[in-house]
Amino acid sequence: MKVAVNRKAPAAYTLARIRARKSKLLKRTDYEKLLKMDIYTMLKTLEEIGYHLENIELANPFEAIEEAITRALEKELTELQSFVSGKRKEVLEAYLKRFDVENVKLILRSRARGVNIDSSLFFAGKLSREKLTELANAEIDQLIKTLSLPLKRGEMKALISAWEKGRIEEVENLIDRAYYRMLSQKTKSLRGREKILRHFVELRLDVMNTRVILRAKAMKLRKDELKDLLLPCGRINKRELYSLFEAGFEKIQETFEKKWGIYIEKKPKSTGEFEKILEEHMLKFAEKLMHTSPFSAAPIIAYVLMREAEARSIRMIARAKYYAVAEEEVRKSLVIWE
């Protein structure tokens, strides 16, 4: 007798757990309360909502909050990988590989500058603390190979050459482009209900490339310097990106609205404002994915994005309190999607 298999059961179980976790994320009213607290009250409140401070013996309250946020986020992203399976797990691991990428970049940067950055490493990918400690002094090609990125032979040669010449920014850009090329290729191969994630990755690439354009303009870089900074393209192609470099905010905004079918009500007055608008739109898009394709990997990736946004916002508030930044200035910078 053939037994019917409910293929949606594991996905439904995962979705239920993701929704339960999402319900615990901080709301706008919670951020308002944090903004009005002193840093010591904030420490106590964060511990009550799950950012545990046990065994953290730091005199600086801001450092204690930083450490608690890092530990909580590492723990949660590791737990996600433990109960997600199949194609969803494969997509999640590809997305979280960027933490391995960031760790390798930090190791290379620390070696180039002769500083110790062990406390800055974030372990939520595949490379453990032990593995990275073992590879900390390895040859650069061996260290890069642990990432299993689609670097072409010419790119690997260019990367090693840039390292030998002390051009660490060029090394990092080559690694980033290889990672996002891998992620883009991974999502383009998705089929069925998973293919909706292509749109999310395309949006992320467009947001990041638009951010590169905005910052390059602010730094008064030359147009020809963009080629080493741009990532693989989403819906906005390379020719359009080069054109936007010479355009004003209105044209950049118009292009983004046209490509993604959105209307940005608040017109940005600065690079910082525009970057915040793009980040908020990406979070809103991620939340939409949770409802439009609930049994795919989309809700998992969306939750990871929201959880990271929460961590960044708490860090921002804590840092502002420590350095006595005005409450209103912090409020303007917070990225809240609800």
Domain presence at residue 275: yes
Query: Is residue 237 within 8 Å of 213, Cβ to Cβ?
Result: no
Please tell me the predicted confidence (pLDDT) of residue 197: 80
Tell which phi-psi region holds residue 166, choosing left (phi > 0), alpha (psi between -120 and 50) or beta: left
Based on the domain organization, do 26 and 52 belong to the same domain? yes
In a domain, 315, yes or no: yes
Residue 175 counted as domain residue: yes
pLDDT band, very low/low/confident/very high, at 309 (cuts 50, 70, 90): very high
Q: Which two tokens stand for residue 181?
A: 């090329």
Residue 1 falls within a domain, yes or no?
A: no
DSSP state for residue 324 in the 8-state scheme: T
- Mean residue pLDDT of the chain comes to 86
In a domain, 149, yes or no: yes
Same domain for 70 and 97? no
Shared domain for 177 and 238, answered yes or no, is: no
Instruction: Give the span between the Cα atoms of 248 and 244, in whole angstroms.
Output: 8
| Residues 315 and 257 grouped into a single domain | no
Three-state DSSP class for 233? coil
Residue 209 shares a structural domain with residue 286: yes
Confidence label for 54 from pLDDT (cuts 50, 70 and 90): low
Judge whether 2 lies within some domain: no
Q: How many domains does the chain have?
A: 3
| Per-residue confidence (pLDDT) for residue 3, from 0 to 100 | 36
Name which of 316, 298, 336 is nearest 14 in CA terms. Answer: 298
pLDDT band at 65 (very low <50, low <70, confident <90, very high): confident
Q: Flag whether 162 is in a domain.
A: yes
Where does residue 183 fall: left (phi above 0), alpha (psi -120 to 50 degrees), or beta otherwise? alpha
Reply yes or no on whether the pLDDT at 163 is more than 80. Answer: yes
Residues 98, 74, single domain; the answer is: no
Structure confidence by residue, pLDDT tens digits, 266-302: 777 788 888 888 888 888 888 887 787 888 888 899 8
pLDDT level of residue 47 (50, 70, 90 thresholds): confident
Give me 113's structure tokens: 């500058």
| Same domain? 288 vs 303 | no
Question: What mean pLDDT comes out for the span 68-93?
Answer: 89
Question: Are 209 and 236 in a shared domain?
Answer: yes
Mean pLDDT in residue range 51-63:
69
pLDDT at 304 (0 to 100): 93
- Residue 53: give its domain's CATH number: 1.10.132.50
Residues 6 or more apart whose CB falls under 8 angstroms from that of 163 comprise 108, 140, 171
Identify whether residues 199 and 183 lie together within a single domain: no
261 and 305 belong to one structural domain: no
Q: Are residues 141 and 211 in the same domain?
A: no
In a domain, 4, yes or no: no
Q: How far apart are the first and last CA of the chain?
A: 50
Tell me the mean pLDDT in the region 50-70: 76
Shared domain for 146 and 56, answered yes or no, is no
User: Where among 189, 214, 234 does a domain terminate?
Assistant: 189
The CATH number of whichever domain residue 126 belongs to comes to: 1.20.1690
pLDDT at residue 92 greater than cutoff 60: yes
- Cβ partners under 8 Å of residue 282, min gap 6: 203, 204, 207, 305
Give residue 9's pLDDT band: very low, low, confident or very high (50, 70, 90): low
Pick from 320, 306, 292: nearest CA to 76? 306
Distance CA 117, CA 95 (A): 23
Cβ(62)–Cβ(39) below 8 Å: yes
Which tens digit of pLDDT belongs to each residue from 96-136? 999 999 999 999 988 888 777 666 788 999 998 888 888 87
Name the percent of the chain lying above pLDDT 90: 36
Q: Final residue of a domain: which of 275, 293, 311? A: 293
Residue 323 domain boundaries: 9-84+297-338
Last residue of a domain, one of 137, 159, 189: 189
Predicted confidence band of residue 5 (pLDDT cuts 50, 70, 90)? very low
Q: What is the pLDDT of residue 177?
A: 93
193, 199 Cβ separation under 8 angstroms: no
pTM of structure: 0.87
